Structure 1
Amino acid sequence: MNPFRHLLKAAGAHPPVGTWVVSSNALAAEALGHAGFDWAVLDLEHTTTDLGDLVHLLQAVGNTRMVPVVRLPWNEPVMVKRVLDAGALTVMFPFVQNAEEARRAVAATRYPPEGVRGVMGLSRATRYGTATQALRHANQSVGVIVQIETREALDELEAIATVPGVDAVFVGPADLSASLGHLGEPAHPQVMELLARAVDRCKALGRPVGTMGASAELVAQYRAMGFDFVGVGSDLGLMMRGAQAALSALRTQDTTIVHSVTAGTLTR
């Protein structure tokens, strides 16, 4: 079974928690896996990560229990082919607007006659030709997640989510908020209302739905809505928040010490 499908099936009442890897750094990705995240998006859309970096990220995450999801830069079959040959088993397609785009996404992940994926036997995906059954089972092994990121796409949610081969839907709050005129406000009430309705609609279809937020507090609200999988932050985001919190605490302490000295209250 595809690892991400298995993760969702085994989750029960506790939605798997993931994060984003945007630094292109294999050690950071490996560390996040050991930190205990259930899944992570290795992002090719909004990062400098290239295919060579991706192979190193997949190798690093392979040393952990964290399930990798590769977000493609676009719904483009040549890139899909190369990412799958690099060893990705679950891919996320950004900005899917309608059922036809969802069908194109699925077709790019399938070998003929079910799709248009080109065949390469000596790839990392086939363990360089040693996994003799890899090609035969590839069409069933690859997982497909489609991103819904605009009001127009939400209007087409049922048609997109029910395309054969789509395993899960991911609603992106950042782009959705921008499409609604609330750029930079993913927790705007209108966005939150549409997210909650998207969960209900996907539940009615029996299709898993996920999302992500920058903070644990926001993601807790998503979990309460009923999302089946959630992501929080990113490697760089978590690092920056930790660094800023540490600096803020030290600078506050420094200020307190200075005030104490000025007031003559510092004890030795």
Structure 2
Amino acid sequence: MPVQPNPFKRALQNGQLQFGCWLGLGDTFSAELMGTAGFDWMVIDGEHGPNDLRSILAQLQVLEASDSHAVVRLPVGETYMLKQVLDAGAQTVLVPMVESAEQARQLVRDVTYPPHGDRGVGYALTRASRFSQIKDYGKTADEQICLLVQVENKKGIAALDEILAVDGVDGVFIGPADLAADMGHMGNSLHPDVQAVIMDALRRIRAAGKAPGILSTHDPMTNEAIEAGALFVAVGADVLILSHGAQALTAKWKAQKG
């Protein structure tokens, strides 16, 4: 029996726009709630969210019951971390701060079984193989793994064409906040200079046959990114939805106090 197909990877390969949302609360109940909202994909954030392997595993479990595809963002592109989240059942991973083709090639090896990669062969014990029920997991898993890399600083932008030439990288996500900071515009990813770099990068990614990705909560930027070719577009985050909603509700009723 082969591995279940990765619907997110297939959609990107077919050029289908996928809308997503960030999960930064690190909680299964809120992740399950967000999974009912109808997003195409959800990022379980291990970089800036308070997550560890067990909380990532738990959120993978609850999202499996939803129509939202789980994307796991690691804190850093370490081989052992990729091995662990893949064995936990993630089919799509997002790796931050990729700055070179050499780094991208190693990440491809990290998510690929031998003889072409370095992923450890212990799938009989893992959730990924449904605890050895998927007999052909080792032979069929590679094709369904989706590797997304983040390019989010000037060094990464300078190496973008070389990164795009790496076989096995399925998509490139441009990180607006880090890029803006590295360009000297901390907290202002809407600065014209930053926007010009972002949109140019998205067009180059799409032209290279890879899937471009972005996170934007600013509708004009979101629409421009889609026009530039973005295919996996995060339009919100659970933390922001809760925080902004709570602040708006508080302000509304406090205003009546005079």
For the aligned pair, the TM-score class normalised by the smaller chain equals over 0.9
- Show the counterpart of 1:73: 75
Q: Does 1:115 align with 2:121?
A: no
Q: CA contact under 8 A between 1:70 and 1:88: conserved in structure 2?
A: yes
| SS of structure 2 residue aligned to 1:126 | coil
Q: CA contact under 8 A between 1:215 and 1:233: conserved in structure 2?
A: no
Question: Structure 2: any 5+ residue segments left out of the alignment?
Answer: none
Question: Structure 1: any 5+ residue segments left out of the alignment?
Answer: 256-268
- Show the counterpart of 1:64: 66
- Show the counterpart of 1:87: 89
% same residue: 38
Q: Which of 129, 151, 156 is the aligned partner of 1:126?
A: 129
- Show the counterpart of 1:34: 36
1:218 CA displacement: 3.8
TM-score by length of 1: 0.90
- Show the counterpart of 1:48: 50
Cα distance in 1 between the residues matched to 2:13 and 2:36: 22
Q: How many residues align?
A: 253
1:127 CA displacement: 0.5
Distance 1:156 1:18, change over 3 A: same
Decide which structure has the larger Cα Rg and report it. 1
1:202 CA displacement: 1.5
Distance 1:220 1:204, change over 3 A: closer
Q: CA contact under 8 A between 1:109 and 1:139: conserved in structure 2?
A: yes
- Show the counterpart of 2:245: 242
1:220 CA displacement: 3.2
- Residues 1-268 of structure 1: matches in 2 within 5 Å? 1-9=5-13, 12=16, 15-120=17-122, 121-255=124-258
1:26 CA displacement: 1.0
Q: CA contact under 8 A between 1:40 and 1:69: conserved in structure 2?
A: yes
Letter in 2 for 1:87: G
Letter in 1 for 2:207: A
Letter in 1 for 2:155: E
Letter in 2 for 1:176: L
| SS of structure 1 residue aligned to 2:128 | helix
Q: CA RMSD in A?
A: 1.4
TM-score by length of 2: 0.93
Moved >3 Å (runs of 4+):
9-12, 214-218
| SS of structure 1 residue aligned to 2:36 | helix
Letter in 2 for 1:3: P
Cα distance in 1 between the residues matched to 2:133 and 2:203: 44
